[in-house]
Amino acid sequence: MADSTIEQSSERTAATASGSTRRGFGIDVGGSGVKGGVVDLDTGALVGDRIKILTPQPSTPEAIAATVREIVTQAGWEGPVGLTLPAVVTAGVARTAANIDKSWIGTDACALFGAALDGRPVTVLNDADAAGMAEDRYGAGKDVDGVVVLLTFGTGIGSAILNHGVLLPNTEFGHMEVSGQEAEHRASSAAKERHDWSYKEWSKEVSRVLTRIEDLLWPDLFVAGGGISRKAEKWIPHLTNRTPVVAASLQNTAGIVGAALAAQTSIGT
Ligand code: BGC
């Protein structure tokens, strides 16, 4: 059995309820951890525990599918499941594979997870798209009725665009060229560490990326996600782009919550 940790959420109830139309189950597949939990779809809060299992290495489709099955079994969940991948996902098929085993490319993730979960309905979508849906519905973007762009800063940069709550899936702004360099090579939090930049130094690179995106999309709000958003007060004040930037508020549950929401609304497949 893989190493697993159970993290308690604020609402301490047994994570066994399933079948309710107002509850869903989401699993966020990342490069270092696979995390899942039951979500209250009215509030976006986790119901019960957040279950985390270290991502198996190599992170092949079969190994991840076994981990996903273990999480759902541990939770005792019997309903539909939404899942994220750090990949472009079209019609349930992974088309790219950033920070996950390359054998995902071309894998029918929906069929794979569906089979691993005894044929129940599953929905698979890009990780940043899930986080964007969650932040737009329940978190930092919930009061903005316009175009919200969420960017996740981590090993790479993930992106999601929502217009009046509707997602345009699989935008990949992390791979956009900005002044001769891919945005995520320039301004991910991994780039900050690689260059040993201060928050202020790094924020110049983030500003360049945000300026390029806002010149093309004219969003009403940027939501900054990823682990580094927990230190938002150290870098958001240094940004020089024109669109307001706020830190994500759901933190490490956004992917789970967005996946559960997507499964309910069947965005993705
Ligand atoms: C990938 C995206 C992903 C992001 C965050 C990027 O490198 O291309 O699909 O959303 O990393 O994981």
Q: What is the domain partition of the chain in residue ranges?
A: 4-127+253-265, 140-249
Among protein residues, the one with the nearest Cα to ligand 1's atom 9 is: 87
Average pLDDT, integer, range 175-182: 96
Distance from C-alpha of 25 to C-alpha of 83, rounded to nearest angstrom: 9
Question: Around Cβ 118, how many Cβ atoms within 10 Å?
Answer: 9
| Amino acid at position 159, single letter | S
| CA of 17 relative to ligand 1 center, distance in Å | 32
Q: Which residue has the tokens 């079994």?
A: 73
Domain 140-249 falls in which CATH fold? Nucleotidyltransferase; domain 5 (3.30.420)
Whether residue 218 contacts residue 161, with contact meaning beta carbons closer than 8 Å, is answered with no
What is the pTM assigned to this prediction?
Answer: 0.92
Q: What is the pLDDT of residues 190-218, one digit of tens each?
A: 999 999 999 999 999 999 999 999 999 99
10 CB-side CA count, 13 A? 8
* pLDDT band at residue 13 using 50, 70 and 90 as cut-offs: very low
DSSP H or E segment with residue 137:
helix 127-138
**Which residues contact ligand 1 via a Cβ below 6 A?**
86-88, 96, 98, 126-128, 152, 156, 158, 172, 174, 184
* CATH, domain range 4-127+253-265: 3.30.420.40
